[in-house]
Amino acid sequence: MDITIPLLGLAIIAGAFGAILGVGGGIIIVPGLTLILGVPIHVAIGSSITAVIATSSAATLSYILRGYVNLRLGMLLEVPTVIGAVFGGLLAVALRGEVLQFLFAGILIYASIVMARPAAPGAAVELEPETGGWLTATFREPTTGGEVYYNPRRAGISIITSVAAGAASGLLGVGGGIVKVPLMSAVMAVPVRAAMATSSFMIGLTGAASAFIYYSHGYAPPEIAGPTAIGVLIGARAGSKIFRRLRPRALMLLFVGLLLFSAVRMILEALG
Amino acid sequence: MNVRLHRYVRNGLLAGVAPAFAFLAAGILLRLLRSETPLGHMPLREVFAGLLSADPCAFLSIGMLFLYFAPGLGAIAALVAFILDRDKQGILLTLAVLAIIAISINIRPQ
């Protein structure tokens, strides 16, 4: 049976869930492809990276003219992130599938813990204009109509952490937003809206660096990666439009249970 | 907000994303119509010939390559804007990102 329609269906569901729950498609699409459709994990990760580039590029296009993306901060953090992504990609193509399944199960457990915790209040936002700082940026907050000024701090610590985020992205095909957004908002005092938009911009570049490695090794076959990318994109657009204000706690906890179940299944498959 | 920088990046990104989505959508449509066509990784020289014969795999491959290059096109557009703004830090950081991506493009299986 041709895999295109089941792939599209799975990817649309993954994209919609990702948008509803505020997570990237990667942590949904990789277990979906491996556990439901039986796709080898290297191919699932290569396809997930392709989908992640599609969704992050589309998100960046919708945010960028509103000024939410801090391009200077993005470029600063992207240098270590993209180095991490290349090493992660190279490591992934060298590792056995069982090892990747173990590592991915670890990421699923980490994502479950992050999602299960009640949302912490956002970082304090400087409302007075900051002067100096090359990274200082402003944007108009749509909910209040006011201008938000902020000056990112602790760039040094964030640069080191970014290498790890990039490596996780290249190694496991996840966007890394689950690391980058808390890093920028909690550590660097970047407003959450700007952190999410800047993270989206960065995810595309990070994904591109490792995508070429997967593609050249034959781990992003067009008949799987192509429909996955389009499906996740359609699902994410639909999910964000329909459920823009819907983040029900019960659905989130159900999803956490599903992630943990997928993690256990992956560990069991890896053990044979 | 630096309007020029943001506008350039948007245009650069769009130059990659728009053809990528068009080719991917066409590839999926052709795949659904012609499911008997062979699948798999396609070398670049075969991709162009495949486009002329409406091979779904060729459309999907070229769409994916446009997609992979899209963030890089956004970064190249950012580089142009940083050069016009004489923003030395921006130029250096963007060049570093682009150089690492260029290296990753040239990594081939052993």
Complex-level ipTM: 0.92
CA-nearest residue of chain B to A210? B104
Sequence-ordered list of residues with C-beta below 8 angstroms from that of A156, at least 6 positions apart, any chain: none
CB proximity B96 to A under 8 Å: yes
Closest-CA distance of chain B to residue A93, Å? 9
Residues of A in contact with B96 (CB under 8 A): 79
Tokens 């943001």 belong to residue: B6
CA-nearest residue of chain B to A77? B93
Residue scoring higher pLDDT (A118 or B70) = B70
Closest-CA distance of chain A to residue B90, Å? 7
Q: Is the pLDDT of residue A86 over 90?
A: yes
Of the pLDDT bands very low, low, confident and very high (cuts 50, 70, 90), residue A44 is very high
Mean pLDDT of chain B: 89
DSSP sequence for B54-96: T-HHHHHHHHHHHHHHHHHHHHHHHHHHHHHTT-HHHHHHHHH
Region A110-124: mean pLDDT is: 66
pLDDT tens per residue, range A227-247: 999 998 888 888 767 655 555
Residues 47-66 of B with CB under 8 A from A: 56-57, 60-61, 63-65
In whole angstroms, give the CA distance from residue A70 to residue A32.
33
Of the pLDDT bands very low, low, confident and very high (cuts 50, 70, 90), residue B39 is low
The reply to whether residue B105 touches residue A212, judged by beta carbons under 8 angstroms, is: yes
Region A2-12: mean pLDDT is: 88
Q: Are the C-beta atoms of residues A53 and B70 closer than 8 Å to each other?
A: yes
pLDDT of residue A202: 92
How far does Cα B101 stand from its chain's mean position? Answer: 12
The reply to whether residue B6 touches residue A76, judged by beta carbons under 8 angstroms, is: no
In whole angstroms, give the CA distance from residue A240 to residue A20.
6
Best mutation target among B33, B34, B60 (most A Cβ atoms within 10 Å) is B60
Region A210-231: mean pLDDT is: 92
CA angle B47, A228, A240 (to 5 degrees): 130
Mean pLDDT of chain A: 84
Q: What is the pTM of this model?
A: 0.89
Given B41, B56, B74, which is nearest A218 (Cβ)? B41
In whole angstroms, give the CA distance from residue A12 to residue A239.
9
Positive or negative, the CA dihedral A47, A30, A114, A161 is negative
The reply to whether residue B10 touches residue A223, judged by beta carbons under 8 angstroms, is: no
Region A178-195: mean pLDDT is: 84
Of the pLDDT bands very low, low, confident and very high (cuts 50, 70, 90), residue A124 is very low
pLDDT of residue B27: 93
Given A61, A82, A218, which is nearest B17 (Cβ)? A61
The reply to whether residue B21 touches residue A89, judged by beta carbons under 8 angstroms, is: no
In whole angstroms, give the CA distance from residue B68 to residue A210.
10
- b (16+ CB within 10 A) / e for A151-177: bbeeeeebeebbbbbbbbbbbbbbbbb
Of the pLDDT bands very low, low, confident and very high (cuts 50, 70, 90), residue B40 is low
In whole angstroms, give the CA distance from residue B44 to residue B53.
15
Given A64, A134, A213, which is nearest B104 (Cβ)? A213
Closest-CA distance of chain A to residue B25, Å? 7
Closest-CA distance of chain B to residue A41, Å? 17
Region A196-221: mean pLDDT is: 91
The reply to whether residue B71 touches residue A227, judged by beta carbons under 8 angstroms, is: no
Inter-CA distances, A136 with A140, A223, A236, B2, B77, Å: 14, 43, 31, 11, 21
How large is the greatest C-alpha to C-alpha distance in chain A, in angstroms?
Answer: 62
